[in-house]
């Protein structure tokens, strides 16, 4: 990882757990949680790191210790500030009182920031067991959580399991194929030596987003298949897109299967 964890997570949002509708708690007859929820609405008047806003969250927790939302918001603040221990405590308290609302975010963070791929897979599996509807996407919406689970398997070196999970999602939810799903699937096939299948996936990826990474990984498979002409074309295309900054971009984090000029130069020289 090229950049500071603290710098990166300071940009990460907590959009997956929206401010609750306080009236729901009133309808449920829980006036304590309702009052805490109404107080928590004032938090939006402050910058997230403003101590006055944090004091409001503390008051909400004191008023209703089993109200998940202020724990979640405090967890988000601690993550952005790099206080991992406090993040862990508060996100787990949020999970204790609202697992369905918390698990998508916790699964995203576990894999993305801490390389806790097994923990992320566990969270996604648990969420799947708790709901009867679609479990949704990662925090920023880039990946469906099923694909995210496949990427976690990929990062654990379990490429066959990753292929199984990602393909199952693509086949069952063709309306929810993400911008980079076929790219990661193609790389997984490449890792197990199925280069023709990898190229099929990479070709499909062009329909969703045409990136330097597609042509870089295509070049690898063409090289393994001893197709020099196609290799040369792919390398040239990858370099062209690299020069135009038409690549995966993650700001302060190296994304899964993202490439850099160093990778491209190394492949060309070899």
Torsion of CA 138, 143, 146, 150, to 10 degrees: -120
Which parts of the chain are beta strand (E)? none
46 sits in which H/E element: none
Query: What value does the mean pLDDT of the chain take?
Result: 90
Residue range 247-267, pLDDT digits in tens? 998 765 789 999 999 999 999
pLDDT at 2 over 70: no
Average pLDDT over residues 182-195: 98
Domains of the chain (ranges, CATH numbers): 179-270 (1.25.40.10)
List C-alpha distances in Å: 232 to 109, 189, 203, 237, 239.
39, 21, 16, 9, 11
CA nearest neighbour of 211 among 239, 171, 175, 177: 239
What pLDDT score does 249 carry?
Answer: 82
In the beta sheet, which residues pair with residue 144? 137
Structure tokens that stand for 201 in this block? 């996936």
Residue range 33-81, pLDDT digits in tens? 999 999 988 887 666 777 888 999 999 999 999 999 999 999 999 998 8
Residue range 72-117, pLDDT digits in tens? 999 999 998 889 999 999 999 999 999 999 999 999 999 999 999 9
Q: How far apart are CA 163 and CA 184, in angstroms?
A: 9
Q: How far apart are CA 35 and CA 45, in angstroms?
A: 17
What pLDDT score does 17 carry?
Answer: 60
């Amino acid at each position: 990882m090229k950049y500071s964890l603290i710098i990166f997570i300071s940009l990460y949002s907590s959009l997956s757990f929206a401010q609750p509708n306080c009236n729901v708690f009133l309808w449920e007859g829980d006036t304590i949680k309702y009052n805490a929820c109404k107080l928590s609405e004032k938090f939006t008047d402050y910058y997230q790191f403003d101590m006055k806003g944090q004091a409001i969250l503390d008051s909400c927790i004191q008023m209703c210790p089993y109200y998940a939302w202020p724990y979640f918001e405090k967890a988000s603040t601690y993550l952005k500030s790099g206080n991992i221990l406090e993040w862990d405590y508060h996100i787990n308290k949020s999970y204790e009182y609202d697992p369905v609302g918390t698990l998508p975010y916790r699964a995203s963070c576990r894999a993305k920031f801490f390389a806790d791929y097994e923990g992320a897979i566990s969270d996604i599996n648990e969420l799947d067991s708790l709901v009867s509807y679609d479990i949704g996407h990662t925090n920023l919406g880039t990946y469906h959580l099923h694909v995210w689970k496949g990427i976690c398997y990929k990062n654990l070196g379990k490429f066959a399991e990753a292929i199984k999970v990602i393909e199952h999602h693509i086949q069952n939810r063709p309306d929810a194929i993400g911008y980079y799903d076929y790219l990661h699937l193609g790389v997984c096939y490449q890792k197990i030596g199925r280069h023709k299948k990898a190229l099929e996936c990479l070709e499909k990826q062009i329909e969703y987003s045409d990136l330097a990474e597609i042509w870089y990984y295509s070049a690898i498979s063409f090289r393994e298949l001893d197709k020099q002409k196609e290799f040369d074309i792919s390398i040239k295309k990858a370099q062209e897109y690299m020069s135009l900054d038409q690549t995966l971009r993650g700001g302060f984090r190296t994304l899964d299967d993202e490439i850099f000029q160093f990778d491209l130069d190394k492949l060309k020289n070899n």
